Amino acid sequence: MTPVSPSYFDALYEQTDKMVKTLCEWIAIPSVANENATDGTPYGRACLRMLEKIEEDARALGLCACRNFDGHVLTVDLLENAPTALGIACHADVVGAGREGWRTDPWQATVQDGCIFGRGASDNKGAGVSALYALAFLKKQGLLHKNIRLYFGSDEENGSACLRYYQEHYERPEDMPPIIVPDAGNEIVHGEWGILRASLSASLSQGKGASLLSISAGEAMNIIPGRAEARLSGVSLSSVNEAIRQVGKEGLSAVEEGDTVLLTATGKSCHSSMPSQGFNAALLLLSALCRLPFSSETVAVLSTLYTLYTTPPSFIGQLLEKACLTFSLTGLFFKDGRLSTWHDSRYSYSVTARSIEEAIEGALGASALFASFQRIGAPHLIEKDHPFVMRLADIYEECQKEKATVTEMRAGTYASSLDLGVAYGQFEGGNIHGIDEYLPIDCLPKTAKLLAYTAYRMAEEQ
């Protein structure tokens, strides 16, 4: 068969309206994964429904070789009983949408100004729709005699437990094909930083005076909080306003509600891998709370936390200066006498998870705070000159008529859980993990074309 050129795949642009419709339907399913689901599903009913919806759409497009692996992963194959030349991995789960700030309903897609707005539009449902239509195009054209397999997971945002389950029970990492992960823009990401998460907690005894009733800040462990609230008793509104004045930053406000005071901090949420793109409302709230007349124990704990993130240990500070570490407070909570936090760090190949853990433990010292850690993934690196990376760069340049960028990134994707996985093939929108997440409509066919052409070229050569 005579090889086809990239322009052959421009026919996917004719499917744009259908892709938009499909994406809007996917966004309407609030597939926020809950690893503690009690409804008999691994990650909650919405995540299972999302996999079911993808399978329904795949079959409607003529892709009938679908298999749901216990609600963790759905695979869609181009050809049954043929060797698999390439895998494409997307995630069907999303982060939460927060409580307010959106100009549109995050769970009802809005199409305006050439973009689709809604949670998951860019991360990662848009790419999932593109991958599905790319595979359907390859199926209809009958171009390949090798299989291309799509993987849709349900728990990527919490650390990819879905993929680990699939690998443990069905397809070992060493048996999986080379896989591209369209979840990191149009660059070729050959390296991803490691991810360390932590929870710091302490029991606080309240005195007779000013007391904490509750604190709430944080939507997910990989989102910088854009809003934080603390409800207080035994303290006057004027005292809280004085603490706000002492902080001297915008975004803090307080109101009386009955015999309590509600202290609110407003910042800007963003992905925790790029904390400088946001403004941490939890830290802003802490800056005010530290100035209020709570019990000495409570003030000590709050001050220790605030200092950990504003004046970190020298070792952490040096890594931050070298730009090989992120160090973020992503959640702050108080309920029934117990304070707890979420922490997220991304670290490069020159740093170990244990060294970060030791620095945090050292900073806590003899305070009442206790730290527990969760290592989500070690740094993932495939050398730039690896044949897979180099071939993807060639294919990208053939398709896009521009130089490919091969880089590394702080965020993590499914690629870090794969023996031969590279984040590649997505044209994305903006405000990922933030309010008003969006995807330009033309990214749908553009991504579909690149994925289809890449799959075609990789399978053709095997």
Query: Nearest-CA neighbor of 151 among 340, 414, 409?
Result: 414
Q: What is the pLDDT of residues 334-377, one digit of tens each?
A: 999 999 999 999 999 999 999 999 999 999 998 999 999 999 98
> What value does the mean pLDDT take over residues 36-56?
96
How many CB atoms are closer than 10 A to CB 296?
Answer: 9
* Six token digits for residue 176: 């999986």
Query: Nearest-CA neighbor of 331 among 93, 160, 117, 95?
Result: 95
Q: Note whether 6-193+379-460 and 195-377 share their fold.
A: no
Q: How far apart are CA 394 and CA 403, in angstroms?
A: 9
* Six token digits for residue 78: 């181009």
Q: What is the pLDDT of residues 199-252, one digit of tens each?
A: 999 999 887 889 999 999 999 999 999 999 999 999 999 999 999 999 999 999
Q: What is the pLDDT of residues 157-205, one digit of tens each?
A: 999 999 999 999 999 999 999 999 999 999 999 999 999 999 999 999 8
Domain boundaries, the chain: 6-193+379-460, 195-377
Give the pLDDT of residue 2.
67
Q: How far apart are CA 167 and CA 107, in angstroms?
A: 31
State how beta strands 260-266 and 421-423 pair: unpaired
Q: How far apart are CA 276 and CA 270, in angstroms?
A: 9
Fold classification of 195-377 is Alpha-Beta Plaits (3.30.70)
Q: Which run of H or of E encompasses 233?
A: strand 227-233
Query: Nearest-CA neighbor of 329 among 292, 363, 297?
Result: 363
340 touches 200 (CB < 8 A): yes
With cut-offs at 50, 70 and 90, classify the pLDDT of residue 100: confident
Burial of 96 (0-12, 13-18, 19+ CB in 10 A): middle
* Six token digits for residue 304: 């220790």
- Selecting from 3.40.50.1000, 3.40.630.10, 3.40.50.10860, 3.40.50.620, what CATH number does the domain 6-193+379-460 have? 3.40.630.10
Query: Nearest-CA neighbor of 410 among 160, 191, 163?
Result: 191
State how beta strands 194-203 and 370-377 pair: antiparallel
Q: What is the pLDDT of residues 278-337, one digit of tens each?
A: 999 999 999 999 999 999 999 999 999 999 999 999 999 999 999 999 999 999 999 999
Could you tell me which residues come within 8 angstroms of residue 114 by beta carbon, excluding any fewer than 6 positions away?
440, 441, 442
The whole-angstrom distance between residue 90's C-alpha and the CA centroid of its chain comes to 12
Q: What is the pLDDT of residues 302-315, one digit of tens each?
A: 999 999 999 999 99
129 touches 23 (CB < 8 A): yes
